[in-house]
Amino acid sequence: MNYENMHVKEVQRLAKQGDKEALNEMVWRHGELLPGADAVEQCAWQDFWFEKAADAGHIDAKLRYAQTLINRPMNAEDRQKAMKYFQSLVNDLDAGKLLSKDDQESGIIAKLRLGIMLCEGYHTPRDASKGVKLIETAESLTNGFEGYGFGFMYKLGELYATGLAQAGEEPSITDLEQAIKYLDIAIKRFNPEKSDPRKLDLAKQLFETQKKRIVTKNEIKTQRGVEDTNFHGAEDRRRKMMELSDVMKMRMDADKAALKRIRERLAQEGW
């Protein structure tokens, strides 16, 4: 059925029956059903229906909602919920349940995102080894999907360079060599028609920085006889990433208040 061109009353009727496509379509109907809503209320509306559609098993809704959650001010509730949806998509991908190319693409992206979350450990369990393997596996599945040749390898290089791709916190010389390897692959795979040229500049800068860091680390190792592993910059970065500014806290409070209003309104309509 063509849900996009369906009358809103029919979409509502099907949504109340648990139709996952109708629930997902409700995400985009705030203009008709929530006239005059401001941007915060529109986002709250989309949250409500994305979650409904995701929980009903809609593949695209799971991915979109999870990605929305991790792009917000850092907080445990959103990130743990996002991890749950990413893991669900990865499980479906690994079990061969994602049959269409679009659904498989969603599963691959979820595998990448889950891998990154496991490496970062921001308000979620941290398992860098498992995270890297997930990203590498996701990359190996991207044949036939345009636009992924650069991003996956760049992310691996960045994780190794920032100390998030290993169990420890300070990248070793070997870790930095891994960063260079992945960044070099990313640079060679860059397609200006698929990615922002500024990303290539960032990759090149990060590549050159790691080469300089290796030189410095080798000099220190020669002087001391052992590799310098006492700096814990990555742990400090992780802690700072999880700190919320006053502005972010205000935004979170506004988002929660808007979602509460939307839930109360929809509850009165039987949702």
In a domain, 100, yes or no: no
Distances (CA, A) of 43 to 33, 148, 212: 14, 28, 44
pLDDT band for position 184 (50/70/90)? very high
Cβ(47)–Cβ(30) under 8 Å?
no
Cα–Cα distance measured from residue 14 to residue 9, given in angstroms and rounded to the nearest whole number: 9
Q: What is the pLDDT of residue 167?
A: 72
pLDDT band for position 231 (50/70/90)? low
In a domain, 214, yes or no: yes
In a domain, 10, yes or no: no
Q: What is the pLDDT of residue 240?
A: 85
Kindly report, residue by residue over 203-220, the tens digit of the pLDDT. 999 999 999 999 999 999
For the cut 70, the answer to whether the pLDDT of residue 71 exceeds it is yes
Cα–Cα distance measured from residue 221 to residue 263, given in angstroms and rounded to the nearest whole number: 59
For the cut 90, the answer to whether the pLDDT of residue 84 exceeds it is yes
For the cut 90, the answer to whether the pLDDT of residue 239 exceeds it is no
In a domain, 160, yes or no: yes
For the cut 80, the answer to whether the pLDDT of residue 230 exceeds it is no
For the cut 80, the answer to whether the pLDDT of residue 61 exceeds it is yes
Tokens representing 214 are: 């290796």
* Residue with the larger pLDDT of the pair 233 and 204: 204
Most confident of 55-64, 136-145, 184-193, 234-243: 55-64
Q: Domains in the chain: how many in total?
A: 1
In a domain, 167, yes or no: yes
The continuous run of DSSP H or E covering 31 comes out as: helix 30-33
> In the chain, pLDDT over 70 holds for what percent of residues?
96
Mean pLDDT of 81-107: 97
In a domain, 202, yes or no: yes
Cα–Cα distance measured from residue 190 to residue 108, given in angstroms and rounded to the nearest whole number: 19
What range defines the domain where residue 232 resides?
Answer: 147-243
Mean pLDDT of 187-191: 90
Q: Following CA atoms 11, 12, 15, 19 in sequence, which dihedral angle do they give, to the nearest 10 degrees?
A: -20
In a domain, 8, yes or no: no
Cα–Cα distance measured from residue 129 to residue 115, given in angstroms and rounded to the nearest whole number: 9
Q: What is the pLDDT of residue 236?
A: 76
Helices marked H in 56-172 — which ranges? 59-70, 76-94, 101-120, 128-140, 151-161
In a domain, 233, yes or no: yes
pLDDT band for position 188 (50/70/90)? very high
